[in-house]
Structure 1
Amino acid sequence: MNKFGLLLIAFGVFTSSLTVYAAAAGAPRATTATGVVQGTLEASGVTSYKGIPFAAPPVGDLRWKAPQPAQKWTGVRKADHFGPRGMQLPLFSDMVFRSNGMSEDCLYLNVWTPAKSPKAKLPVLVYFYGGGLATGDGSEPRYDGEAMAAKGIVTLTVNYRLNVFGFLAHPELSAESPNKASGNYGLMDQAAALKWVKDNIAAFGGDPSRVTIAGESAGSWSVSAQMISPLSKGLIAGAIGESGSLLGMNPPPALADAEKAGAAFAENIGAPTLAALRALPAQQLLETLRQPGAPWFSATRDGYVLPRAPGAMYAAGEQAKVPLLAGWNSHEGHYKQVLGDTEPTEENFNAVLKKFYGDQAGAARLAYAGDVKQAATELASDGFIVYGTWKWIDTHARTGGKPVYRYYYSRPRPGDTGAAHSAEIEYALGNLDGNKVYAWSAEDRALSTLMQGYFANFIKTGNPNGAGLPEWPRASSGAGSRLMHLDATSRAVTATDDARFQFQDAEMQKKH
């Protein structure tokens, strides 16, 4: 063969290797324990992998069972679209889904990674969505992981079973369980996802020993649950909670009580046995939640996923010994939730306090002092979610042995009055542009940059502080804790709301 022919062959080998390299560069892949996934290289340089199964579909006989291992596959699985969201009713108007429909087959997760190599060993964020354990999905734009990944963090959102599918307790379910427990299937899903992260995240450039779990509302509540669940032991290096914990005014019921409620529900929908319940089509079962008097399914003190009363476990220091960053918003509740249609007057507020607290009404007014509308807003917020978040922060600061950082968020979205429940999510995760409802200002963007910086630092180091950010002091237990007030102008302050929480603590002790 002449030199020209050799050159042609060499050129052909060279160009074909270029083609292979280009294809690989344009279609990144990762090898998990169950098979190879092919992701999408985003314009930002972040690679996304969407819709990866982390457990077997919880359908048929697996409905209301602990999540089982995902099936292995051969070849390359395209991970370029979100999996289905869990079965749920349309409950909250601010939820926007990009998921591939709705299905009982919903145990999928999504990964965004900036890593160029599996050897990168980057910190990891696992985010649990909110929605009252009744609705929500890892595909919502406000939880999108690309912006956090661009900060050098492998970021995941995780689906888990919801409502009756995720939290039904029933005597027959407990009887068939090897753990003699039932009800906390959604929490088991989250723990299974964390186990998946430990086993697989290195393939995406993540460090399995540096996993921070985070969430808002029911997601924050879930974080507080995973911190005391034996199923997640050793899988968590840090925790972020935005508005919510299971240390609130309505703690998880005992298994016997939850079983009784589940059995009554089953009778009411005409499916009194476990066989009848499992035979119901998923959509038909979901529709029963529209019936008047249908229960709101939540977690259970089952002795397995949640071994004991959460407050007692935290008080005894039985939670994961990890740094915690947590807080709440200024308007988690609304004064009308306390006052109803009556005017916000002193007389009307005192009448409500008398109804709520009897002979302690005077003490309640001292605890919720000042302007009636503001005081009623604080009372509604505490009853809903704030007291439980404070109790979590306060107890973990006392018994957790690791730094705790507390925030108070008061920036309203453009046009809103007060920082409503969930208002901070887009700011903290760098996703303002994913929400087209609001005309974000330069101040909004500056706050988002600040918050995302704090969150990213915390995920990387267990400390939110870093160059160019106002100093965020550590929180302490008891009165006078230091915290970060997040708003257009953010600053460290000393807590002025201790009287509210001390009053509610005393009331809780009477009840329990």
Structure 2
Amino acid sequence: MSPSETGPPDPRIAVEQGVLVGRRDGEVTSFKGVPYAAPPVGPLRWRAPQAAPPWNGDRDAGQVGAICIQPPSGGDPGVGPLPMSEDCLTLNVWTPAERAEPRPVMVWIHGGGFNNGSGTAALYDGANLAKRGVVVVTVNYRLGRLGFFDHPALAAERAEDEPGGNYGMMDIVAALEWVRDNAAAFGGDARNVTVFGESAGAAAVTRLMISPEARGLFHRAVAQSGLGRDTGVPLDRPSAIGGPSLQARGEAFARTVGATLAADLRALPAEALLRPAPNFYGGDNLVIDGQFVTEDVEAAFAAGREAPVPLIVGTNSAEFWWMRPSEISPYGAIDDALTSQERANLYAAYGGEDGYRAHVVSDLAFNEPARHLARLHARNGHPTYLYRFDVVPDSNPEPSGGATHASERPYVFDNLHTVGRPMGERDERAAEAMAGYWTTFAAKGNPNGDDRPVWPEFGAERDRLLEFTNAGPEAKVVPFADRLDLIEAYYDRIR
């Protein structure tokens, strides 16, 4: 029995493609599984997203769509429910049922290394944020080799001005265009859109900030644990640090499946594209396509070419606590160019080799790059807010010594019930604070208000941040600055 048979009629709104029938749950109305682009299947595999086709009559928007094709997730609560499909370019909207238009819009870009995840996970349910007076949109975008891939045979098919390779980023931009065109139907303000994301989703946010194609589609940005010093891979030439081009990587993969022609590649079952998994930090999924992303993030910020919008950027206190610099991986390799003196100085700053091994990968990949981007953005004259998340629930079984990678997500969404373990009053207070700061920032470009501790603006109070602790938010000087200074000097030398 549908809700309309037991109570008030289901909410109906008209978007450009047709009429959507959503659901109301108390203070919030939701519309789920909404197509923002045509299914990228058949001849549209490895093509830029095309406009979503219109439909006749009412379209039910009571259930989420399929997640994008991806390998097993290993239990990440940010993945969402099956099924999965190449036909996955949908989004979900939560909006206050009683609207005082126009509302700020927050568009969430999920993480997962550009290989996993979706906007459909219960972790990212936008109802609790919408209750604070914003419209929340979560987005699915193509992943892995379906989203980040090129091959000379595919390039030969493209027109001279047709973008290629970076299809996941193209999808995200297409979703933002859809939000621009349809936000008003949900009570949202298309002139006040915040993009926010975590991990690979935050890497997407910083790429949106430097993307010519995304300029003007958003007005605030939040990057949660989103790298910043990483190097992208061009389509047809080696990366800046010498790795093979995206097309060369595509050729190497195609040889493993016996494909030489574009038709052969498009005929492959989607599941055949999952093995071996593309490498996120190693460059397979971080693409410089020349149109949607034209350069590396750090270089663009350093030159003042990023979007002139207010920015929240930050990291967690024990991001990759399990990762050691001796491991054979792209993350383990980022300290390989240290001189013996640089290494000795870092050992001293970390209190010895054990401290170095435990924390240096997190600092090299996340903490120093976040501070660096904050410094650059503030130097360029834009409002900037840096944070460090160090809330650790009593029920956390990990020996991390802090807040591990991705652990801030249920606090930002105020969805503590989705984490699968007991959470206490201090966690509820932390979630109330984070959701409050994030939604206030979306509304006015400044996270401060409602008697919360004042979050220092990074340009006005250089090298001061807000740390989310078990005792509550606290403004302070950036912790462990001596370590970060040594890492900054290392990056300056090698780049």
| TM-score between both structures, scaled by the size of structure 2 | 0.89
For residue 297 of structure 1, report the CA deviation from its aligned partner: 3.0
Q: Report if the CA contact (8 A) 2:79-2:116 is conserved.
A: no
Separation in structure 2 between the aligned mates of residue 199 and residue 24 of structure 1, nearest angstrom = 31
- Aligned mates of 1:274, 1:394 — CA distance in 2: 44
| Counterpart residue number, 2:364 | 383
1:106 paired with 2:93, answer no
- CA distance in 2 between counterparts of 1:24 and 1:230 reads 47
Q: How far apart in 2 are the matches of 1:280 and 1:30? A: 38
Partner of 2:241: none
> Does the residue aligned with 2:359 lie in a helix, a strand or coil?
helix
Asked whether the equivalents of residues 409 and 486 of structure 1 are also in contact (C-alpha less than 8 Å), the reply is yes
Q: Is the counterpart of residue 511 in structure 1 residue 494 in structure 2?
A: yes
- For the structure 1 residues 483 and 58, does the alpha-carbon distance in structure 2 shift closer, same or farther, using more than 3 Å as the test? same
What is the match of residue 190 of structure 1? Answer: 172
Q: How far apart are 1:39 and its partner, in Å?
A: 0.3
Higher mean alpha-carbon deviation, 126-135 vs 401-410, is at 401-410
Question: Which amino acid letter does the alignment assign opposite residue 224 of structure 1?
Answer: T
Q: Which residue number in structure 1 is paired with residue 429 of structure 2?
A: 446
User: How many Å separate the matches in 2 of 1:24 and 1:205?
Assistant: 23
Aligned to 1:431: 415
Divergent runs of 4+, >6 A? 21-24, 352-355
Q: How does 1:69-80 map to 2 (within 5 A)?
A: 69-80=51-62
Partner of 1:272: 260
Q: Structure 2 residue aligned with 1:122, among 103, 110, 122? A: 103
- How far the C-alpha of 1:75 sits from its partner, in A, is 0.3
Q: Which amino acid aligns with 2:23?
A: T
Partner of 1:419: 403
Q: CA deviation at 1:240?
A: 0.7
**Cα deviation code 1:93-117 (max 9, x no counterpart):** 2236544510000000000000435
Map of 2:305 onto structure 1: 318
Task: Tell me if structure 2 keeps the 8 A contact 1:83–1:99.
Answer: no
The code of the aligned residue for 2:350 comes to: A
Equivalent residue for 1:347? none
SS in 1 for 2:439: helix
One-letter amino acid of the structure 1 residue matched with residue 271 of structure 2: Q
Displacement of 1:495 after TM fit? 1.5
Counterpart Cα distance in 2 of 1:391 and 1:169: 31
SS in 1 for 2:77: coil
Aligned twin of 1:50: 32
Q: CA deviation at 1:385?
A: 2.9
In the alignment, what sits opposite 1:500?
Answer: 483
List runs of 5+ in structure 2 lacking aligned partners: 237-244, 328-333
8 Å CA contact 2:467–2:474 kept in 1: the answer is: yes
Structure 1 residue 508: deviation in Å? Answer: 2.7
Following the alignment from structure 2 to structure 1, what is the Cα–Cα distance between the partners of residues 226 and 183? 27
Distance in structure 1 (CA, Å) of the matches to 2:411 and 2:50: 36
In structure 2, do the counterparts of structure 1 residues 336 and 167 end up closer, same or farther at CA, with 3 Å as the change threshold? Answer: closer
| Counterpart position of 1:15 | none
CA contact (8 A) 2:314 2:387 kept: yes
Structure-2 change in CA distance of 1:374 and 1:387 (3 Å): same
CA distance in 1, matches of 2:80, 2:485: 43
Deviation at 1:504, TM superposition (A): 2.6
- Whether the 8 Å CA contact 1:113–1:154 is kept in 2: the answer is yes
Deviation at 1:312, TM superposition (A): 1.9
Amino acid at match of 1:268: T
SS at match of 1:337: coil
Mapped partners of 2:6, 2:323: distance in 1: 58
Structure 1 alignment gaps of length 5 or more: 1-20, 341-351
1:218 aligns to what?
200
Kindly indicate whether the alpha-carbon contact (under 8 Å) linking 1:181 and 1:255 is maintained by their aligned counterparts in 2. no
1-structure distance, mates of 2:425, 2:353: 33
Structure 1 residue aligned with 2:379, among 389, 398, 405? 398
For residues 444 and 269 of structure 1, do their structure 2 counterparts lie closer, same or farther at Cα, with a shift above 3 Å needed? same
Equivalent residue number for residue 410 of structure 1: 390
Please say if 1:327 is aligned against 2:311.
Answer: no
Identify the structure with the greater helix proportion.
1
| Whole-Å separation in 2 of the counterparts to 1:217 and 1:291 | 16
Given that 1:170 and 1:182 are in contact with CA atoms closer than 8 Å, whether structure 2 keeps it comes out as no
Alpha-carbon shift at residue 310 of structure 1 (Å):
2.4
Change over 3 Å in CA distance of 1:211–1:115 after alignment to 2: farther
CA–CA distance in structure 2, aligned partners of residues 138 and 330 of structure 1: 25
Count of equivalent residues: 472
- TM-aligned CA deviation for residue 54 of structure 1: 0.1
The answer to whether the 8 Å contact 2:12/2:20 transfers is yes
Q: Which amino acid aligns with 1:147?
A: N
Gap change, CA 1:480 and 1:212, over 3 Å in 2: closer
Q: Say whether residues 1:161 and 2:148 are aligned partners.
A: no
**Percent identity of the aligned residues?**
37
Is the 8 Å Cα contact of residues 55 and 192 (structure 1) preserved in structure 2? Answer: yes
The CA deviation at 1:313 is 1.5
2:388 aligns to what SS in structure 1?
Answer: strand
Deviates more, 1:63-72 or 1:305-314: 305-314
The equivalent residue for 2:242 is none
Matched residue, 1:132 = 113
Match of 1:14 in 2: none
129, 136, 149: which one aligns with 2:130: 149
User: C-alpha separation between the residues in 2 aligned to 1:115 and 1:410?
Assistant: 34
Is contact 1:328–1:409 with CA below 8 Å preserved after alignment? yes
For residue 500 of structure 1, report the CA deviation from its aligned partner: 2.9
Check whether the contact 2:411–2:431 (CA below 8 A) recurs between aligned residues. Answer: yes
Aligned amino acid, residue 34 of structure 2: I
Q: Distance in 1 between matches of 2:323 and 2:248?
A: 33
Q: Which residue of 1 aligns with 2:184?
A: 202
- State the partner residue of 2:232: 252
Alignment partner of 1:261 out of 249, 260, 266: 249
Aligned partner of 1:337 in structure 2 is 324
CA contact (8 A) 1:357 1:364 kept: no
Counterpart of 1:378 in structure 2: which amino acid?
H
Give the drift of 1:24. 9.3
Within the candidate set 18, 35, 43, 2:18 is matched to 35
Distance 1:98 1:364, change over 3 A: closer
- 8 Å Cα contact 1:183-1:299 kept in structure 2: no
Superposed CA deviations along residues 171-190 of structure 1, whole A, max 9, x for unmatched, are: 23333333365221000000
Relative to the length of structure 1, the TM-score reads 0.86
- Judging changes above 3 Å, is the alpha-carbon distance between structure 1 residues 121 and 87 closer, same or farther for their aligned structure 2 residues? same
**Are the equivalent residues in 1 in contact too, given 2:316–2:390 (CA < 8 A)?**
yes
CA contact (8 A) 1:115 1:122 kept: no
Counterpart amino acid of 2:235?
Answer: L
Structure 1 pair 480–365 and aligned structure 2 pair: CA distance change class (3 A): farther
Supply the distance in 2 between the matched residues of 1:28 and 1:404 (Cα, whole angstroms): 38
In 2, Cα distance between equivalents of 1:169 and 1:405: 36
Deviations 1:362-393 (A, max 9, x none): 23334x33365444332020234333333322
